[in-house]
Amino acid sequence: MLLNEFKNKKILILGFGREGRDTFRFLRKLFPKKILAVADRLEFKKLDEKAQKLIQHENTSRAIRLHLGENYLKALKDYDVIIKSPGIPFKILPKAVLKKVTTQTEIFFDNCQGKIIGITGTKGKSTTASLIYQILKEELKVHPVKFASQLFNRVNLVGNIGKPVLNLLFSATKNDIYVYELSCHQLYNLKKSPQIAVLLNIYPEHLDYYRGFKEYISAKANIARYQTKKDYLIFNSGDKVIREIVKKSKAKKIPFQGKNYAQDLEAAKKAAKVFKIPEKTIRKAIKEFKPLPHRLELVGTFKGITFYDDALSTIPETTIAAMDTLGGKVQTIFLGGFDRGLDFKNLARRILKSKIKNLILFPTTGEKIWRNIVSLKRNNKLKAFLVQNMRDGVKLAYQYTKKGKICLLSCASTSFSIFKDYKEKGNLFKKYVKKYGKS
């Protein structure tokens, strides 16, 4: 939807978190006096402080209309355009309003003058997007980069990892590149694809949000679905699901292979080559790249034990990948969290084949993982500890992990059973590791 089409429309912003607020500020700059509506499942007093302040400020001009609380969806029918935030599933929306729904991502794609490099995958997209951004930034220190006979002199990291994008449209030019990390939620219902698409991997994830794995795959496939023969699709040829998506693509196909961090590196290198960036620049940018927090992050060695924070690991496949990467020195592993109905049998088999001795388990999937292990081998010699907080878990890790071994936080589950999110979980892990490492 083009920006001039919003002028005479009744607009509602659905969801008033970080992205919803960014959308509101963007629209307010475009239409200083227009009445804008906001709908959110939370009552005003339960919204975060930034949301409350913004609403209070807008109330002075009476240019805001609110639909807050449990009946927030009932107002949707009264508006011409609904700009939905990523955290709200399409499946809960009334069918009658679906044609009116758009997103920040869709608005940006429709109005962006520059080129977009879109990166998606169940895991690794943040690291890959950051690597591509770092490489392009390094090259731009020397001279503009070239794509399809056009020169570009500025690069922006946006989307799920960087800034919300809409306000960037005010300063956007045709000479800008946008490295856009795209979640499945941002891709869902998208009707345009980026000029350069990077597709890393697809595993069962967010199944509580979608109607099933097929719908999740379909959302991811939108990154390539609308590409043309002029576009590029950089894809992991070792992923069976991705190979099926690629078969339908019209874009120029660039395959790569790799596992874990090596996969992210290979994808970033392939993207850099599309812009004909010299190998020397690529190597320099990769060498200087700092790994992102909570992604198999080395916390340090304390009392002879080496600790790794892989708090962003929310599915069994990434925990298995972490175990494969660190090898036989992993003696203690933290597992478990919120139950989204994932299958842990392969993870249980991998643990039984490993040299792991101690399992520190969070509810509720920690117990589920343990039941899977017991069902496969009743006489296993693993020690299992069910804990209700990170402090107790780290104490046990110090007690039972031998010097020279590794303790790994890689829970194969989301954090919401005990922790606010993966950042809180990872930061608490690091806090107590360092605290008890000094005592």
pLDDT digit string, tens, across residues 241-253: 999 999 999 999 9
User: What mean pLDDT is predicted for residues 357-378?
Assistant: 96
Tokens of 270: 């392939």
The answer to whether residue 311 sits within a structural domain is: yes
Number of domains composing the chain = 3
153 and 265 belong to one structural domain: yes
148 and 168 belong to one structural domain: yes
- Spatial contact of 118 and 186, defined as CB atoms under 8 Å apart: no
SS3 label, residue 112: coil
CA atoms within 13 A on the CB side of 37: 21
User: What mean pLDDT is predicted for residues 194-223?
Assistant: 92
**Which residues make beta-bridge pairs with 117?**
179, 196
Cα distances from 302 to residues 329, 349, 394, 434, in angstroms, run 15, 30, 12, 7
Model confidence at 378: pLDDT above 90: no
324 and 228 belong to one structural domain: no
CATH of the domain at 361: 3.90.190.20
- Spatial contact of 405 and 332, defined as CB atoms under 8 Å apart: yes
d(CA 217, CA 415): 23
Tokens of 94: 């009334």
361 and 401 belong to one structural domain: yes
The answer to whether residue 235 sits within a structural domain is: yes
284 and 301 belong to one structural domain: no
d(CA 119, CA 222): 11
Instruction: Please count the helices (runs of H) and the strands (runs of E) in the chain.
Output: 14, 19
Neighbouring CB atoms inside 10 A of 130's CB total 22
Tokens of 344: 């842990």
CATH of the domain at 51: 3.40.50.720
Cα distances from 117 to residues 167, 169, 182, in angstroms, run 18, 16, 10
Q: For residue 314, give the nearest of 431, 434, 188, 425 by alpha carbon.
A: 425
**Residue 207 confidence class, pLDDT cut points 50, 70, 90:** confident
**Residue 139 confidence class, pLDDT cut points 50, 70, 90:** very high
d(CA 218, CA 206): 13
Q: For residue 121, give the nearest of 197, 226, 230 by alpha carbon.
A: 197
Neighbouring CB atoms inside 10 A of 123's CB total 23
- Chain-centroid distance, C-alpha 224: 18
CATH of the domain at 112: 3.40.1190.10
Q: What is the pTM of this model?
A: 0.91
Model confidence at 319: pLDDT above 90: yes
Cα distances from 86 to residues 160, 282, 351, in angstroms, run 10, 33, 35
DSSP 143-163: S-EEETTEEE-EEEEEETSSB
63 and 121 belong to one structural domain: no
Model confidence at 356: pLDDT above 70: yes
The answer to whether residue 413 sits within a structural domain is: yes
Locate all alpha helices (DSSP H) within 60-165, ordered by sequence.
104-111, 125-140
Tokens of 219: 């959302």
Q: Residue written as tokens 């891709």?
A: 187
Name the strand (E) or helix (H) holding 10.
Answer: none
Tokens of 357: 């001795």
Model confidence at 162: pLDDT above 70: no
335 and 413 belong to one structural domain: yes
The answer to whether residue 2 sits within a structural domain is: no
The answer to whether residue 265 sits within a structural domain is: yes
Model confidence at 420: pLDDT above 70: yes
51 and 141 belong to one structural domain: no
278 and 175 belong to one structural domain: yes
The answer to whether residue 19 sits within a structural domain is: yes
Domain holding 57, by residue range, is 8-85
d(CA 100, CA 267): 36
d(CA 381, CA 104): 51
The answer to whether residue 62 sits within a structural domain is: yes
80 and 168 belong to one structural domain: no
Residue 416 confidence (pLDDT): 87
122 and 249 belong to one structural domain: yes
Close Cβ partners of 46 (under 8 Å, ≥ 6 residues apart): none
The answer to whether residue 421 sits within a structural domain is: yes
Name the strand (E) or helix (H) holding 85.
Answer: none
Residue 160 confidence (pLDDT): 79
Tokens of 168: 């960037």
Share in percent of the chain as helix, strand, coil (round to 5): 45, 20, 35
342 and 428 belong to one structural domain: yes
What average pLDDT does the structure give for the chain?
95
Among 85, 115, 149, the domain-final residue is 85
Q: Residue written as tokens 């930061």?
A: 427
User: What mean pLDDT is predicted for residues 306-315?
Assistant: 96
User: What mean pLDDT is predicted for residues 214-233?
Assistant: 97
